[in-house]
Amino acid sequence: MIGSDMIESGTVFLIDDDPSVRDSLSLLLSLKGVRTQLFANAESFIEAYRPGWVGCVLTDLRMPGMTALLIEVLGNALRVDRERRTAVTTRAFVSARFERLTEREREILALITAGHQNREVAAQLGISPRTVEVHKARIMEKLGCRSLAELIRVNIAGR
């Protein structure tokens, strides 16, 4: 069944040229707690569509009834859309954090996340290991990381 997190994550946009099919599916889905918006054809959907809309499209249905399996498919489609939007938001948030790093901090981040020790980073950049530690602390603060593992995860997510 579609859980409450699925319901809150979007709308099912029903596109079908048969008004009785649209109405029946809309009623069935609304009884399951799913928000719907109806369109008689693809053209009317495309004309009305706004980039900020959240959900999935269900179109051209020619079947005798709606099964629990098809309800589950809609739930999965809404979940995938929510996950995609979350990933985009997360990536934008991480990118904004990376913008706060200086060029030197980016160099040090790349070397640290590639597995180099502070002494190796210092030698490659011609600075002291203590300076690397200071930069590393600033990097972790700017990126909101508390451990090296978290720093590596954030760096991967920011790519």
Domain boundaries, the chain: 4-90, 100-157
- Compute the distance between CA of residue 25 and CA of residue 109 in angstroms, rounded to an integer: 52
Query: Nearest to residue 147, comparing CAs of 111, 112, 97, 104?
Result: 112
- Whether residue 21 is predicted with pLDDT greater than 70 in this model: the reply is yes
- Whether residue 69 is predicted with pLDDT greater than 70 in this model: the reply is no
Mean pLDDT of 128-139: 95
Mean pLDDT of 89-117: 89
Predicted pLDDT at 56? 87
Place of tokens 């008689």: 40
- Compute the distance between CA of residue 63 and CA of residue 50 in angstroms, rounded to an integer: 29
CATH architecture of 4-90: 3-Layer(aba) Sandwich (3.40)
Q: How confident is the model at residue 75 (pLDDT cuts 50, 70, 90)?
A: confident
Q: Is the dihedral of CA 127, 159, 90, 100 positive or negative?
A: positive
**Cα–Cα–Cα angle for 78, 76, 19, rounded to 5 degrees:** 65
Share of the chain above pLDDT 70, in %: 85
Each residue of 47-64: b (16+ CB within 10 Å) or e? Answer: eeeeeeeebbbbeeeeee
Query: Mean pLDDT, the chain, as a whole number?
Result: 83
CATH architecture of 100-157: Orthogonal Bundle (1.10)
